[in-house]
Amino acid sequence: MPENAFLETGCYGPVLEDSEFEFIRHVVGENAGIVLGPNKRQLVQGRLARRLRELGLRSYQAYCDHLRRSGPEELVGLINALTTNVTAFFRENHHFEALASYMLPEAMLRNASSRRLRVWSAGCSTGEEAYCVAMTGVDVVPPAGWDFKVLATDIDSEVIAFAQQGVYPLDRVASLPSERLRNSFQKGGGAQVGKAIVKAQLRAIVTFRVLNLLHAWPMHGPFDVILCRNVMIYFDQATRERLVNRFTEMLAPGGYLCIGHAESLHNLDAPLRAVGRTIYRRSGGEAHGS
Ligand SMILES: C[S@@+](CC[C@H](N)C(=O)[O-])C[C@H]1O[C@@H](n2cnc3c(N)ncnc32)[C@H](O)[C@@H]1O
């Protein structure tokens, strides 16, 4: 271990050298569209330290060699280690209010004959966002006669595995109103004591899948609403523009795209109109307030 390891990282452990950082930046940029600026070296070193321990490797050089040799297999481990999965139930609640007050009601008018409603949570992390869409949907979509489904995808296989369980530590649901808690969760027993479990009726609405947004999408759509919140923040402008155009093609005419609070489609060439705070609408269909 180089002598300066503690000074550089705040803890003893291998140091990520410039050439190794450059290689990892390149791999992550090419494969996940994630842009790691030069100031992210410490962060990458910190996040990958655990991965090195899991693999029993003693240096980042050895890790880079392993990455070169194992290809797509370790790419998943790398991306899982580097992605930021912060999320929360009803985070940026104005989107769920809009979903209930006009996005789903408009889609119900538009889809009166097919009676099909589709929402995509793209970059869903541990599933809170997707379950909130399901909870909001059951509040406003009549229980009989509507085929209401949520697709939830993320590049990170570990968060998808967690989300599929629908089991959350109590502190993650502590801030929810008690009526929401009662209606949407049951108390865990046995091995799940002290946990809140999303009710089966809601879990049945959501399908979780691993999906890299930069790759081909197997689904056909159209979606009435797409949420891609706090994901594009990692991408460069060209990747964002391509992605937003692909989202637009996946939206039904009159469908909505919701993005995160720190994101904007300003300066992006995409056929969407801003209709609210971080809410964009594809033209066509019956508009809210028109
Ligand atoms: C900060 S979380 C956002 C979670 C949720 N949408 C929200 O706003 O609360 C960002 C998520 O984007 C995912 N992500 C990053 N790059 C991705 C890519 N290329 N394809 C799919 N998901 C990606 C990460 O794995 C992470 O779970």
Contact 146, 115 (CB under 8 A): yes
CA-proximal residue: ligand 1, atom 8 (nearest): 229
212 lines ligand 1 (CB under 6 A): yes
Q: What is the pLDDT of residues 228-277, one digit of tens each?
A: 999 998 888 899 999 999 999 999 999 999 999 989 898 888 889 999 99
Q: What is the DSSP string of 2-27?
A: -TTHHHHHSSSS----HHHHHHHHHH
Q: How many angstroms does the Cα of residue 231 sit away from the middle of ligand 1?
A: 4
129 lines ligand 1 (CB under 6 A): yes
Instruction: Select 94-282's CATH number: 3.40.640.10, 1.10.260.40, 1.20.1250.20, 3.40.50.150.
Output: 3.40.50.150
Q: What are the residue ranges spanned by the domains of the chain?
A: 5-82, 94-282
Is residue 178 packed enough to be buried (19+ CB in 10 Å), middle (13-18) or exposed (0-12)? exposed
Mean pLDDT of 183-205: 96
278 lines ligand 1 (CB under 6 A): no
213 lines ligand 1 (CB under 6 A): yes
Q: Of all helices (H) and strands (E), which one includes residue 252?
A: strand 251-259
* Average predicted confidence (pLDDT) for the chain: 91
Percent of the chain with pLDDT over 70: 94
Question: Does this chain's domain 5-82 share its CATH topology with 94-282?
Answer: no
CATH architecture of the domain 5-82 equals Orthogonal Bundle (1.10)
Q: Output the pLDDT for position 9.
A: 45
Mean pLDDT of 113-141: 97
Q: How many angstroms does the Cα of residue 212 sit away from the middle of ligand 1?
A: 10
At 8, is the pLDDT very low, low, confident or very high (cuts 50, 70, 90)? very low
Mean pLDDT of 200-224: 96
Which own/partner contact pairs does 5-13 have at CB distance under 8 Å and 24+ positions apart?
A: 8/42, 9/42, 9/45, 9/46, 11/49, 13/49
CA-proximal residue: ligand 1, atom 13 (nearest): 123
Q: Please check the confidence at residue 92 and state whether its pLDDT lies above 50.
A: yes
Which atom of ligand 1 is the closest one to the Cα of 87?
A: 9
85 lines ligand 1 (CB under 6 A): yes
Mean pLDDT of 1-26: 70
CA-proximal residue: ligand 1, atom 26 (nearest): 85
Q: How many angstroms does the Cα of residue 277 sit away from the middle of ligand 1?
A: 20
Q: Output the pLDDT for position 72.
A: 80
Q: How many angstroms does the Cα of residue 18 sit away from the middle of ligand 1?
A: 27
Residues with catalytic function: 47, 154
Q: Please check the confidence at residue 5 and state whether its pLDDT lies above 50.
A: no
**Assigned token pair, 116:** 């099909």
For residue 68, the 8-state DSSP code is: H
pTM: predicted TM-score of the whole model, two decimal places = 0.90
Site to substitute for ligand 1 among 84, 219, 231, most atoms within 8 A of C-beta: 231
Q: How many angstroms does the Cα of residue 109 sit away from the middle of ligand 1?
A: 31
Mean pLDDT of 173-200: 95
Spatial neighbors of 226 by CB under 8 A, at least 6 apart, are 119, 120, 122, 247, 250, 251, 255, 256, 257, 258
Mean pLDDT of 128-137: 98
